[in-house]
Amino acid sequence: MAQSVLPRSVQRLIDEFARLPGIGPKSASRLTFYLLRAADNQPGELATALQELKERTRLCSVCFNITEEDPCPICSDDNRDARLLCIVEEPLDVLAIERSRAYNGRYHVLHGAISPVEGIGPEDLRINELVARVAGGNFQEIILATNPTLEGESTALYLQRRLADRDVRLTRLARGLPVGGDLEYTDEITLGRAFEGRQNV
């Protein structure tokens, strides 16, 4: 009864919104009714942006980051240090690292991490492409910037083995207290890593 009251086109947009992660049926309704009241062009602008998303983007054939041009702006930027390679799980990780302004080398995006539970093995990631890239390149340091999670650590360990025969320095991002965090509320593993990695002042 409640369903039949809603026009089909309204119900359909609610259903589409509800398919997105983190958006439940209530939020989906709220977004839809918001758009019904919004300026006439707002739903259309969102629709155009959605349509152009897949049409215009592809993966960079060098680093596998998402890009509109191939190779991507980072891979084709001569001002970046081509001797440094940072390996990340996801394109969003590149964004986070770029925001930090702490790194000026190249990237390689794996598109996931090894996870036996989810059935994701090395062959599902851009690891063979990475090994080939390292073999053909002239990198001095490879930073294994996978997440500090079980899957991320396993992936880093696996990459370490795969790249062991290369004459290149392999590093991992430091683990420790998050800036602005509270020692009292830091979990014991992070605190343990912060002690292990303590530095002279």
| Shortest distance in whole angstroms from residue 82 CB to a copy of itself | 17
Across-strand partners of 120?
A: 115
d(CA 59, CA 43): 28
Spell out the residues 6+ positions from residue 177 whose beta carbon is closer than 8 angstroms to its own: 183, 186, 190, 191, 194
By CB under 8 A, residue 66 contacts a copy of itself: yes
| Shortest distance in whole angstroms from residue 89 CB to a copy of itself | 12
x/- contact string, 125-164, with a copy of itself (CB under 8 A)?
A: ----------------------------------------
Across-strand partners of 169?
A: 141
Which CB, 94 or 163, lies closer to a copy of itself? 94
**Contact, 86 vs 57, CB < 8 A?**
no
Which CB, 51 or 160, lies closer to a copy of itself? 51
With residue 26 as reference, give the H or E element that holds it: helix 25-37
* Given 25, 53, 118, 135, the residue binding a copy of itself (CB under 8 A): 53
3-state secondary structure at position 133: helix
By CB under 8 A, residue 31 contacts a copy of itself: yes
| Shortest distance in whole angstroms from residue 47 CB to a copy of itself | 4
* Given 24, 25, 45, 128, the residue binding a copy of itself (CB under 8 A): 45
By CB under 8 A, residue 6 contacts a copy of itself: yes
Peptide linkage before 71 cis (omega within 30 of 0): yes
Count Cα neighbours of 85 within 13 Å in the Cβ-side half-sphere. 22
Which CB, 45 or 196, lies closer to a copy of itself? 45
d(CA 99, CA 191): 25
**Contact, 113 vs 155, CB < 8 A?**
yes
Q: What is the binding site for a copy of itself (CB under 8 A)?
A: 1-2, 4-10, 12-13, 15-17, 19-23, 27, 29-37, 40, 42-57, 66-68, 73-74, 90-92, 94-95, 98-99, 101, 111
